[in-house]
Amino acid sequence: MGSAPTTVAHMRPPGRTWEFIKRLRRGDEVAHLITLLAATSIIVVTVMVVYQLYVNSALPRHKFGFSFFLGRTWDPVSGEFGALPFIYGTVVSSALALLLAVPLGVGAAIFLSELAPPRISTATTFVIELLAAVPSVIYGLLGIFILVPLLRIGVMPFLKTTLGFLPIFQGPIYGVSMMAGGFVLAIMIVPFIISVSREVLLAVPVEQREAALALGATKWESTWQVVVPFARVGIMASIFLALARALGETMAVTMVIGNDPRISASLFAPAYSIAAVIANEFTEATGDLYLQALIELGLVLFLLTILINGLARLVIIATTQKGTAKE
Amino acid sequence: MSFRTYWRKSVNVVMFSLTGVCALVTVSALFFILGYLLWYGGKSLNWAFFTHLPTPVGETGGGMANAIVGSGKLLLLASLVGLPVGILGGVYLAEFGGHTFSFIVRYTTDLLNGVPSIVIGIFAYTIIVLPMHHFSALAGGMALGLMMIPIAVRTTEESLRAVPGTLREGALALGTCKWRTVATVVMPAAMRGIVTGVMLTLARVAGETAPLLFTAFSNRFWSSGWNQPIASLPVMIYTYAIAPYDDWHRQAWAAGLVLLALVLVANIVARLMVSKGVSFGKA
């Protein structure tokens, strides 16, 4: 203020460039740029994944066009590639997994958030998060040697004699099957459903529960008619995240699903999934068309999981913001 | 008590018992997994497993020494690729980022985290294996490194955000410039959280198989240098488990036990570190 007139003659015009150079000398701008570079490279990598998959699947895209997704024949020898059996296998095994995992996961999440004492809830959640950390190849190992024999000797014959009139429980029993794939996936995605759903349920304001109880509802009625509907969007998001996991899961499914590219109504029949065919045939793919057909399958898988993941993330962002606004 | 009240109370008890059963089933799954691996893996684990190379097909015995070292080398490469990008990206989000761009970066990171591991494998194949015309440890390390980025970013950002703003203000008030504040005050305070994140992401990629199948491939011998196909524990478990030899199955169980032990110990240590809270002042 008072001293301004004396220094003004020596000062440069206070422009943005000058500010920038000043900060550059102190190193702040350099640090900013370096970290910005790292952050940008994450976006670059993600875009590059899409680009590489797209460019490297040009051959089958031009040759088959949309019929790639509807063809039922996968015959590398005669150069005919149809992806329908794999898409069918991926979708059905994931749907089966959700059918088993959603009730189990949501049930366990309700128990952990509403009923269990805090100490037990924390310990159980710890164990469940460890379950999520078990590598998928280990699930596959247990799947081959424990689950598949169990299905072949126990579960499948039982289902065949009791519910054998349903087309999904017919046909010869091999053990390795769509059903085995669905089971393994179910065990693998349950931890994700539980840990996200539990957090969403815990975030429901306690007043909601108290109001319902004060009206004379039992604890279960308050949970099922008030707390769960309040948290339903978040629970849906956890299910979508789990679905995206199931669709892209490779090793465990490859090891138990039977790897047979046929579409069969029976859950006892061997099947094939997109990720499994890539894992099995990629290194053996001879010829550009074969390899690129597999890469196109990878692109399909990528777009499918990105779509589901992206939606689930947006839902989570929207609901958590709403949640904080309410508090 | 009227019938209706009785009915409602029974529903209450029955439904909550069912949820308890759900939780019990899930938790017991982990103990089943641990139990089976300890039983089958423990039976087949011996000293040779850690010190010997795989034997030729048909001969029993041998070990997976090359796969253990191979996994270590792949993790080292992956850390070199993934950790700098991940941690610096996290620093950007927590300390330097603006609003919109940070949101985009965060969202992309979540998407990258959800990309199936096999697709990451295809990506590494197209950018490294195709131009070089052979499988290599480099390609495998690259694939695993890309998978490390998302977790490293998010855990770094979260632990930096947990550092109280007063610490930053204190350093800035002393005339320290921003990058020195971050590097010498905020980062050391958040170090425990960052290390936890690094351990969690290492534990995650240590068990990844799918991205290695057609990048690092496998190798039944020692691989020298970084430019050759290299064996790794998860891929060995896979190839041994689907092979028709009993002795290989035995070794797959042993390898499964070793891998699971490594992954679970890293997870437990990391989570215990975080539950003790972020410590300030030390370091």
Which of A46, A124, A130 faces B112 most closely, judged by CB atoms? A46
Would you call B197 an interface residue with chain A, using a CB distance cutoff of 8 Å?
no
Residues 45-64 of B with CB under 8 A from A: none
Residue A137 with chain B: CB contacts under 8 Å: 207, 209, 234, 237-238, 241, 256, 259
The pLDDT tens digits for B89-134 are: 999 999 988 889 999 999 999 999 989 999 999 999 999 999 998 8
Q: Inform me whether the pLDDT recorded for A85 exceeds 70.
A: yes
Q: Whose structure tokens read 């972020």?
A: B278
Q: Inform me whether the pLDDT recorded for A305 exceeds 70.
A: yes
Best to test chain B binding among A90, A112, A141, A240 (most B CBs inside 10 Å): A141
Radius of gyration of chain A (CA): 27
The pLDDT tens digits for A222-246 are: 999 999 999 988 899 899 989 999 9
Q: pTM of the prediction?
A: 0.88
The pLDDT tens digits for B147-189 are: 999 999 999 999 999 999 999 999 999 988 888 899 999 999 9
What does the pLDDT read at residue A323?
Answer: 44
Q: Inform me whether the pLDDT recorded for A55 exceeds 60.
A: yes
Best to test chain B binding among A48, A134, A184 (most B CBs inside 10 Å): A134
Tell me the average pLDDT of chain B.
90
What does the pLDDT read at residue A327?
Answer: 30
Please answer yes or no on whether A38 and B29 come within 8 Å at the CB atom.
no
Min Cα distance A112 → chain B (Å) is 8
Please answer yes or no on whether B40 and A220 come within 8 Å at the CB atom.
no
Min Cα distance A6 → chain B (Å) is 25
Cross-strand partners of A258: A271
Please answer yes or no on whether A313 and B9 come within 8 Å at the CB atom.
no
* A298 close to A83: Cβ distance less than 8 angstroms: no
* A267 close to A169: Cβ distance less than 8 angstroms: yes
Cross-strand partners of A271: A258
Min Cα distance A252 → chain B (Å) is 9
Cα(B133)–Cα(B145) distance, rounded to whole angstroms?
21
Residue A141 with chain B: CB contacts under 8 Å: 237, 241, 252-253, 256
The pLDDT tens digits for B51-101 are: 888 888 777 888 899 999 999 999 999 999 999 999 999 999 999 888 899
User: How many residues are there in chain B?
Assistant: 283
Residue B154 with chain A: CB contacts under 8 Å: none
What does the pLDDT read at residue A228?
Answer: 93
The token pair at B248 is 């290989």
The pLDDT tens digits for B22-51 are: 999 999 998 999 999 999 999 888 888 898
Three-state SS string over chain A comes to: CCCHHHHCCCCCCCCHHHHHHHHHHHCHHHHHHHHHHHHHHHHHHHHHHHHHHHHCCHHHHHHHHHHHHCCCCEECCCCEECCHHHHHHHHHHHHHHHHHHHHHHHHHHHHHHHHCCHHHHHHHHHHHHHHHHCCHHHHHHHHHHHHHHHHHHHHHHHHHHHHCCCHHHCCCCCCCCHHHHHHHHHHHHHHHHHHHHHHHHHCCCHHHHHHHHHCCCCHHHHHHHHHHHHCHHHHHHHHHHHHHHHHHCCHHHHHHCECCCCCCCCCCCCECCHHHHHHHHCCCCCCHHHHHHHHHHHHHHHHHHHHHHHHHHHHHHHHHHHHHHHC
The pLDDT tens digits for A197-206 are: 998 999 899 9
* B164 close to B141: Cβ distance less than 8 angstroms: no
- Bigger pLDDT: A315 or A94? A94
Best to test chain B binding among A137, A187, A213 (most B CBs inside 10 Å): A137
Q: Inform me whether the pLDDT recorded for A9 exceeds 70.
A: no
Would you call B241 an interface residue with chain A, using a CB distance cutoff of 8 Å?
yes
Query: How big is the CA angle at A93 (ends A261 and A315), to the nearest 5 degrees?
Result: 130
B179 burial (CB, 10 Å; 0-12 / 13-18 / 19+) is buried
Would you call B100 an interface residue with chain A, using a CB distance cutoff of 8 Å?
no
Best to test chain A binding among B12, B15, B19 (most A CBs inside 10 Å): B19
Q: Inform me whether the pLDDT recorded for A16 exceeds 80.
A: no
* A177 close to A258: Cβ distance less than 8 angstroms: yes
Comparing A97-111, A120-134, B212-226, B235-249, the range with the smallest average pLDDT is B212-226
What is the number of alpha carbons within 13 Å of residue A37 lying toward its C-beta?
7
Non-local (6+) Cβ contacts of A206 within 8 A are none
B77 burial (CB, 10 Å; 0-12 / 13-18 / 19+) is buried
| Chain pair A-B, CB pairs under 8 angstroms | 269
Please answer yes or no on whether B207 and A138 come within 8 Å at the CB atom.
yes
Residue B115 with chain A: CB contacts under 8 Å: 46, 49, 248, 302, 305-306
Please answer yes or no on whether B108 and A43 come within 8 Å at the CB atom.
yes
What does the pLDDT read at residue A23?
Answer: 66
* B204 close to B151: Cβ distance less than 8 angstroms: yes
